[in-house]
Structures are given as C-alpha cells and as structure tokens.
Amino acid sequence: MSKVARIARKFVLQSHPQGKPKLSDFKLVEEKLPAALQEGEILTKAQWLTVDPYMRGALLALKQGETMMGSQVATVTESRNPEYPEGTKVVGSFGWRDLTVHKPSEKFNPLDIYKLPDMKGLPESYALGSVGMPGNTAYFGVTRILEPKAGDVLVVSAAAGAVGSLVGQIGKLKGSRNN
Ligand SMILES: NC(=O)c1ccc[n+]([C@@H]2O[C@H](COP(=O)([O-])OP(=O)(O)OC[C@H]3O[C@@H](n4cnc5c(N)ncnc54)[C@H](OP(=O)(O)O)[C@@H]3O)[C@@H](O)[C@H]2O)c1
C-alpha cells in the first residue's frame, strides 16, 4: 500500500449565506489524510459532486469550518475493503471534497455509499441527477405514490427543476396529459 502523504481539498462553511450564496460563504481548505488505510476503509477520488436545493436549508445545521455535505460519483483508488476493490465506481455521501477516506457501513445504506450501477452508456454524472436522487424522487413519486392513470391531467407546481422536469416526462410516458 502507498504511504505517500495525501492531502484532500474540501469546501467548508465559512458563514451561513444571507440572500444568494456567495463564494465567500465557503472556504477551500486542505486536510491531511492518514498515510495508510485501516481494515475496511477505502480511499476515493471524486469525479462529480452535487449542488442540491436541499443544501440551502441543510447547511444551517453546519458550523463554521464543517465540510459541505453532498453526494459524489467517485472512484476507489485504494482499498482495504473486499466489497469495494480498487477501480470500483461508487456514489457516496462524502461532501464537497476531492479525496475521501471512508469506511462503508456493513449494512447496505444508499445514503452512505453504493456501487455505481451499469449506466448502459449514460454519462456517470447522471447517477447524481436523473438516475440518482432527484430521478428516484420523481420516478417513485409518480409511479408508487401518485399512480396517474392514462388520460389524467398531471399538474407539477414547479416543472422546470431537476425533479419537476422528470415528473413531467415520466407522467407523459404513463399517458398523463398536461392540459
Ligand atoms: N423528498 C425528497 O426525497 C426530495 C428529493 C429531491 C428534491 N426534493 C425537493 O423537491 C424540490 C425540488 O427539487 P429540485 O431538485 O427539482 O429543485 P430545482 O432544480 O431547484 O427546481 C426547483 C424549481 O422550482 C422553481 N421555483 C422556485 N421557486 C418558485 C416559485 N416561487 N414559483 C414557481 N416556481 C418556483 C424553480 O424555478 P427557477 O429555476 O426559475 O428558480 C425551479 O424550476 C426541492 O424543494 C427539493 O428540496 C425532495
């Protein structure tokens, strides 16, 4: 195993945004990572990070200096966990940071980490969007809760956003109408 000193870069909260968030509400800092992984741990490198609407409220729970939350598509670059060998692509809740040392929960917990599914040629970033949390919200909301019947009029209060735009498309596939 490599024993090079590794430095992660991460965005921490500097101040709770007033009005529109400003760059100065966040600070890019470095974090020295342990030189060696412990049993069960993985080291990941971020490829894609999320900036989601829920963060506006959720960051109020953060104190100054705490790492911004969020999901990533990341690659395992070192591993002491046989479930996640080197090269595994994952979706993890690691926050706004590039390198992460993480010990995946033993019980499957998609809010912690899961393996990136076969994207069948779709861009991997979609795992954070239309085939990730916003897409799941739209898909399960429409197909398991709303259950529109063909010909129903589907009203989406804010249809231009990540979730709403998919609700419209899924509704259309299910035979809903928009007027
Ligand atoms: N429960 C869950 O699991 C779950 C999962 C995902 C999302 N959510 C929630 O679902 C909501 C939508 O999420 P999202 O990711 O789709 O957000 P988004 O991409 O920011 O979309 C929100 C949409 O709402 C529009 N909008 C905002 N204020 C409006 C207003 N006053 N009148 C009309 N339209 C307005 C925005 O228009 P502009 O672009 O013009 O501002 C935008 O098109 C959020 O509240 C989010 O927290 C819940």
Ranges of each domain in the chain:
6-121, 133-173
Residue 158 pLDDT: 85
Report which ligand 1 atom has the smallest distance to the Cα of 134.
6
Q: How far is CA 78 from CA 6, 16, 35, 139, 178, in A?
A: 12, 35, 11, 34, 49
Would strands 72-79 and 6-13 be described as parallel, antiparallel, or unpaired? unpaired
CATH number of 6-121: 3.90.180.10
CA of 160 to the centre of ligand 1 (A): 8
pTM given for the model? 0.89
pLDDT tens digits in sequence order for the chain, 179 residues long: 555 568 999 999 999 999 999 999 999 999 999 999 999 999 999 999 999 999 999 999 999 999 999 999 999 999 999 999 999 999 999 999 999 999 999 999 999 999 999 999 999 999 999 999 999 999 999 999 999 999 999 999 988 999 999 999 999 999 999 88
Q: Whose CA is nearest to atom 23 of ligand 1?
A: 161
In this structure, are residues 79 and 53 in contact, taking their beta carbons and an 8 Å threshold? no
